[in-house]
Amino acid sequence: MRPTVILRGLVVLFTSGVMLYIAKEFMFSEVRLKHMKYFNEFTDSRPKKFVCQMETQCPDDQFPFKITSGAANIVGANICFNGQTLMSTVKNNIGKGINIALVNASNGQLITTNFFNMWSGKIELLVDFLKAIKPPTIVLLASFDEPSTKMNDDTKKLFTELGSSLIFSLGFRDNWVFLGAKPIKGISPFEQILKNDKAKNKYDNWPEAIEMEGCVPRKND
């Protein structure tokens, strides 16, 4: 056999081996890239949504909150504070009437939650609850269905002491959201009422739900 033929055969074998090696490396590199992409989807350090699905981002010395009233007599209220849902249908701790969460104004820890039926419940239960609030406390409130029937002037006065300026205008099936505090100087900037107006209502006998969010300063000792 001629040497040139043998040499040509060796060249062909060497070339084939190199091409096979390159093809294998390319294939495994592609697999590694896919795995890296998959892994990066779980380790992405880009900013996520703000807490409570809020549009607002708060500084470190303030607590973020979002309060949503109920919608008609179907969809319950929701109260979120400092990244935690305090009251919701899912947590099974809301009711028709007035829903209230109390939070420590210094450290943001939940103190208690409660709801009060303002159609057939006892107003004395709400009065006792409000009178028992001790400073420093942030009060978060959301109405659901009907918040006003049992409300009397003495109860309304207790809400004004927490910073409410709209309580005396609260009417039948109005939607009401409020954040107050004990103690508080003046009136709270965090309060909204949407009036029950059959000509404007979204749900026949009820107005649409209202949402309120913001940042409330921590109480410094």
CA distance 102 to 158: 15
Distance CA 147, CA 152 (A): 11
Give the range with max mean pLDDT: 16-25, 41-50, 203-212: 203-212
**Edge-to-edge, what's the strand order for the sheet holding 110-116?**
110-116, 97-104, 137-144, 175-182, 191-194
Look up the pTM and report it: 0.77
Q: What is the pLDDT of residues 2-39, one digit of tens each?
A: 555 555 555 555 555 545 554 445 444 443 333 333 33
Q: Is the pLDDT of residue 58 over 70?
A: yes
Count how many Cα atoms sit within 13 Å of the Cα of residue 90 in the half-sphere of its side chain.
6
CB burial readout 174-186, b (16+ within 10 A) else e: bbbbbbbbbebee
